[in-house]
Amino acid sequence: MILFPNAKINIGLNIVSKRPDGYHNLQTIFYPVTIRDAIEVVEAPELQFSSSGLNIPGNADDNLCLKAYHLLKEDFAELPTVHIHLHKHIPIGAGLGGGSADASFFIKLINQKFNLGMENSQMELYASKIGSDCAFFIQNKPAYAVEKGEQLSLVDLDLSTYFIVLVMPPIGVSTAQAYQGLSPAPAANSLTEMIKLPLTDWKSTIKNDFEHSVFSQYPEIAKIKASLYEAGALYASMSGSGSSVYGIFKDPLKLPHFEKENKVFYLKN
C-alpha cells in the first residue's frame, strides 16, 4: 500500500513566548502544498526501513516513520512487522514539514492497511507525540496552529486559484540557528483575521518572525524573497524556520534565473 505525503508552508509565524519545557509557543497557519514524498508499507518477516530519492541525514533507525511504528505497536500488539520504503522528494531542512508529513501519513497508512479503526482525533494524538507539527498532516487541511503547533483549528483558506513558486536554496538552516537573536513577543495582529484580508494586504500585515534572524545570517535568502516580489508576487515569505521561500502569484510564470542555483517548484493546488 502506498500513500504520498505532501509538504506544507507557513502563512505567518509568530513566536509568542518561551515555554517552561524549553519549547516555544507559536501562532501560525499551516497550508498544504503539492510537493510529495511516497511511502510504501508491505508486511515483512522483520521490521525494515529503506529509502530512495533525496539522501536522508542521520541514522535510519531514528526515522520518524519507525518511531511512529513503535508508538502504535505499544497499543496495537497485533500489528505485524513491516517493510517501510520512503522515496524522499520534499527538500530536507526547508521548513516544509516533510519528515512530519511522512510520519503522519505512515500512521494513516497503517490505520487503513491493518484496519485499526482509528478516528482522526486518535491519529492526531499519536502524531503529536512524534513532532509538534505532525498532527496537522492527519486532516491535511489549512489550519491555525498554536502552542507548540499541535493545537489546531481548521480555517477557511483556499489558494487554489493562485500559483505558488517555492525556491529552495542550497542552504541548510537549523532550528537552533533560526532562534538566534529572536525575541518572543505577543503578535500585534490576529492571523485568523489577517488571512481574511485581500491577499495583496498580506505583505504589510502577515510576518514570519524567523525572517529577521535568518536573513541576518543568510542575506541570500532575503534576496530570494525580494526577487519574488520583484517578479510580481502578491505575497512572499520564508516557510517555517527556513530556508525555503515561496511567492504567491496571480498568474503562472517561470523564473529560470532562480533555477541555476536553487531548487524551484511551481505549484498549483
Q: With 90 as the cut, is the pLDDT of residue 160 above it?
A: yes
- Does residue 97 carry a pLDDT above 90? yes
For 121-181, what is the HEC assignment?
HHHHHHHHCCCCCCCHHHHCCCEEEEECCCEEEECCCCCCCCEEEEEECCCCCCHHHHHCC
Q: In angstroms, rounded to a whole number, what is the distance separating the alpha carbons of residues 160 and 266?
A: 13
Cα distances from 264 to residues 74, 111, 114, 166, 255, in angstroms, run 41, 34, 37, 6, 8
Structural domains present in the chain? 2-154 (3.30.230.10), 163-267 (3.30.70.890)
8 A C-beta contact, residue 251 and residue 150 = no
In this predicted structure, the answer to whether residue 5 has a pLDDT above a threshold of 90 is yes
Closest CA to 168 of 224, 207, 240: 224
Query: How large a percentage of the chain has pLDDT more than 90?
Result: 78
On the question of pLDDT at 76 being above 80, the answer is: yes
pLDDT tens-digit profile of 191-212?
999 999 999 999 999 999 999 8
Span 98-132, pLDDT tens digits: 999 999 999 999 999 999 999 999 999 999 999 98
Can you give the pLDDT at residue 171?
A: 87
- Mean pLDDT for 70-93 is 96
pLDDT at 122: 97
**What integer pLDDT is reported at residue 61 of this predicted model?**
85
Q: Is the pLDDT of residue 17 over 90?
A: no
Report the DSSP beta bridge partners of residue 56: none
Most confident of the ranges 177-181, 226-230, 240-244: 226-230
Please tell me which residue, 17 or 75, carries the higher pLDDT value: 75
Q: How confident is the model at residue 184 (pLDDT cuts 50, 70, 90)?
A: confident
User: Which of these ranges, 121-125, 239-243, 261-265, has the smallest mean pLDDT?
Assistant: 239-243
CA dihedral over 212, 213, 214, 219, signed as positive or negative: positive
Measured CA to CA, the distance from residue 263 to residue 198 in angstroms comes to 29
Mean pLDDT of the chain: 93
Q: How many CB atoms lie within 10 A of CB 201?
A: 13
Rg (CA), the chain: 19
Contacts for 39 with CB less than 8 Å, ≥ 6 apart: 2, 3, 4, 5, 65, 84, 85, 86, 87, 102, 105, 106, 109
Query: Which residues are catalytically annotated?
Result: 8, 133
Tally the C-alpha atoms within 13 A of residue 43's C-alpha that lie toward its C-beta.
Answer: 5
